[in-house]
Amino acid sequence: MTAVLVAHDGGRWLPRALAALTASRRRPEVVVGVDTGSTDDSAELLESSDAVDEVVVAQRGTTFGAAVAAGLAAAGESVIDLRDSRSSSSETVDWVWLLHDDCAVRPDTLEQLLAQADRMPSAGVVGP
């Protein structure tokens, strides 16, 4: 399980989001923080957090989707282009947890999401 935490001028909310991620009972194997060209201290907050394993700094104006793709690439995860009908993968699907700088999760959030995924094995996306 890889988590990608995208931040954009989120210095106001990011400390709470990072503290909540640190307090999670179930932690992702890898957490990548992606800063999308913030003009505040978001990148520094990601860099100094024990909750984040790796930080990617992208250009200002990077979209959420592009930031997620950059985070997954930094974690060594492959990204499948669903628009390409020739794309196929026989690999086991690994879950990706998408977070934003203003998202302070409860300690059991990831446990609950994964439990729901187990109850619905055909689900491709689960959320609150």
Residue 79 pLDDT class (50, 70, 90 cuts): low
The answer as to whether 32 is a domain residue is: yes
The answer as to whether 53 is a domain residue is: yes
> What pLDDT is recorded for position 128?
80
The answer as to whether 24 is a domain residue is: yes
Exposure b/e, 34-47, CB count within 10 A at least 16 = b:
bbbbbeebbbebbe
The answer as to whether 40 is a domain residue is: yes
β strands within 29-111, DSSP E: 30-36, 54-58, 96-100
Residue 59 pLDDT exceeds 80: yes
Range of the domain at 99: 2-81+91-119
Backbone phi and psi for residue 69, each to the nearest 5 degrees, phi listed first: -60, -40
Please name the residues in contact with 82: beta carbons below 8 A apart, sequence gap of 6 or more. Answer: none
The answer as to whether 26 is a domain residue is: yes
Domain count, the chain: 1
The answer as to whether 125 is a domain residue is: no
Residue 87 pLDDT class (50, 70, 90 cuts): very low
Q: What is the CATH number of the domain that holds 24?
A: 3.90.550.10
Whether residue 93 contacts residue 121, with contact meaning beta carbons closer than 8 Å, is answered with no
> What pLDDT is recorded for position 90?
44
The answer as to whether 60 is a domain residue is: yes
Whole-number average pLDDT of the chain: 90
The answer as to whether 34 is a domain residue is: yes
